[in-house]
Amino acid sequence: MKALIARDGDARFYRPCAGIMLVNAMGQVWVGERHDFPGAWQMPQGGIDAGEDPRVAALRELTEETSVTNVTYLAEAPDWLKYDLPTELVGRAWKGRWRGQMQKWFAFRHLGDDTEIDVSGVESPEFGRWKWVELDELPRLIVDFKRPLYETLVETFRPHIA
């Protein structure tokens, strides 16, 4: 199942968000386990502020969530992708304003070493722990409702990671 591509009218219903696939020198992908939902792993992502460039937002979110700044750009996903929240979360998440997220994704290579990564020393910690995983392992770690989006990201960024 492929991720849904966001359309022009979706901005009313989906929270604009930017995300980063952070890759190390061995081609492994960074994932963090959400401290508020143990077992829920994801890549760094977060909301785009009004007027903010999506790539700038992605780098801001990366630093806010992981402390990482030492990166180089690899690629940008060609489309905005979206996912819907499960029915039980609609109306609760984001104070009920959005039915899901529409996301612009970027791939960056981490140029530093693992000591640069600090998920607990950031201002508002989102992750309790983190790890590097193989690209093909990534979709299996992700919550079901985000899995099609992550499968699309794996195929989109695969040529840029090897």
- pLDDT for res 37: 84
Residues in the chain where the model's pLDDT stays below 50? none
User: At 57, phi and psi to the nearest 5?
Assistant: -65, -40
pLDDT tens digits, one per residue of 133-145: 999 999 999 988 8
Cα–Cα distance, 20 to 18 (Å, whole number):
7
Q: Contact 135/27 with Cβ under 8 angstroms?
A: yes
pLDDT of residue 36: 85
Question: What single letter denotes the amino acid at residue 146?
Answer: K
Contacts of 77 by beta carbon, 8 Å cutoff, 6+ apart = 104, 105, 106, 152, 153, 156, 157
Query: d(Cα 91, Cα 115) in Å, to the nearest integer?
Result: 39
Q: Which of 127, 125, 101 is nearest to 30 (CA)?
A: 127
Q: Which pLDDT tens digit goes with each residue over 119-129?
A: 998 888 899 99
Put simply, whether the predicted model's pTM sits higher than 0.75 gets the answer yes
- Report the chain's mean pLDDT, rounded to a whole number: 89
| Predicted pLDDT of residue 96 | 55
Which contacts (CB < 8 Å, 24+ apart) does range 35-41 have?
35/125, 35/126, 35/127, 35/128, 36/126, 38/128, 40/143, 41/141, 41/142
Full set of structural domains in the chain with CATH:
4-161 (3.90.79.10)
What's the pLDDT score for residue 161? 92
Closest C-alpha among 113, 156, 122, 147 to residue 43? 147
Name the one residue in this structure whose structure tokens are 């994704």: 105
The residues facing 76 across adjacent strands are: 106
